[in-house]
Amino acid sequence: MDSIIVTGNGPLSGQIPIAGAKNACLTLMPATLLSDEPLTLTNAPRLSDIRTMTTLLQSLGAEVQALNEGQVLALSSHALTSTRAEYDIVRKMRASILVLGPLLAKHGHAEVSLPGGCAIGARPVDLHLRALEALGAELDLREGYVHAKAPAGGLKGGVVDFPLVSVGATENALMAATLAKGTTLIKNAAREPEIVDLARCLQKMGAQISGEGSDTIEVQGVDSLGGATHRVVTDRIELGTYMLAPAIAGGEVECLGGTIELVKSFCETLDAAGISVEETETGLKVSRKNGRVRAVDVTTEPFPGFPTDLQAQMMALLCTAEGTSVLEEKIFENRFMHAPELMRMGARIDVHGGTATVTGVDKLKGAPVMATDLRASVSLILAGLAAEGETVVNRVYHLDRGYEHVVRKLSGVGAKIERVKNE
């Protein structure tokens, strides 16, 4: 298993290119299942999760080609051979459940294994299933698989009213509704940029969708969808992560491709902490305003609130802030597993249920630490940028699911970081 070694090396300076959004691309790829015509995605991130989704789609008989060093994905589902998503693939990644809606809408039936993924809470798929039932699907859970069947004549438009906001369930409902007969209303819909990006791609394919980006999306079903070429939206979580690098280590870094619109709530929190964010022609320039970072309170919320996927990284920043910060996690339970590892580096953190109280220290100390999930792994790398001595982050395979070329990007702005293979 690989490790990443980070040595505190002072202020950072330069530019970091931000990749296409993993969470958007993982949703856009299954959209190919809705059409017999080609779908081409540009600005695709080169990540292990993308390779897992590629394997899943290919197992169904879809064609997926990675072009331009993986930044372009050419997909076609004109000759599917299966509508069964097997456990051995689905267990690796929760986003695999996103093939369920498209398969059901286009082919009238599907068998999809219940998914796996990061160990940061239960995250059940009941909201996905409830949405499809609202469109007339008949569902049966047995032997670890969802067996789904559309009524004769296909899915029917209906009202999907989510009791809780769910990004994945909104995506599944949106894709399924494009081919359902009649009008579908998706209420309490997720508003994330990834939802808007999916809607825009589906619109290019011929879908009739309005209201994306609001909490109510209306879909007028069509008989068939065509092909399209679509650029994957910038990854707002990678953007926010690298914005924190100069905030933690000092210096000034421009994150290429970033916009404040993608991370507005996050930028407001950074401003309160004493971090300057300036929009440029090519991205966002980030630096400390003056002196030590100030403590701030953070509550994770669905978009447009503070993203749960930036909570661990923000905690790393607040470990050396002046004063005491309170972080409240309202999206996923069990998402403070990075806290004990940061404490190994000298952080003062007190966790009670879904709340973590962080009292800033003058300096973190390098230590061997262990990554427990995707965002936790990068939070430890960020903490290492501000720590005295050497920080060794173990079990970094999580990192490859969501960040491409971390070592290259951070070393490019002056960080002392390397990836090593362990015997």
Domains of the chain (ranges; CATH) run 2-19+234-421 (3.65.10.10), 22-231 (3.65.10.10)
Residue 124 assigned as binding residue: yes
Task: Give the HSE-up count for residue 357: Cα atoms under 13 Å, Cβ half-sphere.
Answer: 4
| Both structure tokens of 72 | 């372009």
DSSP, residue by residue, 58-125: HHTT-EEEEEGGGTEEEEE-TT----EE-HHHHTT-GGGGGGHHHHHHHHSEEEEEPP---SS----S
Nearest to 283 by CA among 234, 248, 249: 234
Question: What is the predicted pLDDT for the residue at 121?
Answer: 44
In this structure, what are the phi and psi dihedrals at residue 359, rounded to the nearest 5 degrees? -105, 120
| Both structure tokens of 331 | 């999206």
CA distance 325 to 41: 41
CA distance 390 to 5: 7
Task: Give the DSSP H/E element, type plus range, for residue 22.
Answer: helix 22-28
Residue 193 assigned as binding residue: no
Give yes or no for a contact between 229 and 193, defined as CB atoms under 8 angstroms apart: no
Q: Tens digits of per-residue pLDDT, 271-310?
A: 999 999 999 999 999 999 988 999 999 999 999 999 999 9
Question: What is the predicted pLDDT for the residue at 422?
Answer: 82
| Both structure tokens of 296 | 């701030």
DSSP, residue by residue, 332-354: -TT--TTHHHHHHTT-EEEEETT
Residue 363 assigned as binding residue: no
Q: With a threshold of 0.85, does the pTM exceed it?
A: yes
CA distance 189 to 212: 9
Question: Out of 25, 118, 201, 319, which one is annotated catalytic?
Answer: 118
| Both structure tokens of 26 | 């993982």
Give the chain's length.
Answer: 423
β pairing state of 324-328 and 298-299: parallel
Residue 179 assigned as binding residue: no
Nearest to 42 by CA among 74, 16, 17, 64: 74
| Both structure tokens of 297 | 């309170």
Degrees to nearest 5, angle at CA 301 with 91 and 127: 45
Residue 22 assigned as binding residue: yes
CA distance 41 to 201: 9
Rg over alpha carbons for the chain, rounded to the nearest Å, is 22
Question: What is the predicted pLDDT for the residue at 333?
Answer: 74
DSSP letter (8 states) at residue 33: G
Q: Tens digits of per-residue pLDDT, 168-190?
A: 999 999 999 999 999 999 999 99
Give yes or no for a contact between 61 and 80, defined as CB atoms under 8 angstroms apart: yes
Q: Tens digits of per-residue pLDDT, 101-133?
A: 999 999 999 999 988 544 434 446 899 999 999
Question: What is the predicted pLDDT for the residue at 172?
Answer: 98
Active site annotation includes 118: yes
Residue 380 assigned as binding residue: no
Residue 369 assigned as binding residue: no
Averages of pLDDT over each 10 residues, the chain, 423 residues: 94 97 97 98 95 97 97 97 95 91 98 67 76 97 92 97 95 98 98 97 98 98 98 97 98 97 97 98 96 96 94 97 97 87 98 96 97 91 97 92 93 98 80
Task: Give the DSSP H/E element, type plus range, for residue 202.
Answer: helix 193-204
Give yes or no for a contact between 86 and 113, defined as CB atoms under 8 angstroms apart: yes
Helices (H) and strands (E) in the chain, counts: 13, 26
At 179, the amino acid letter reads L
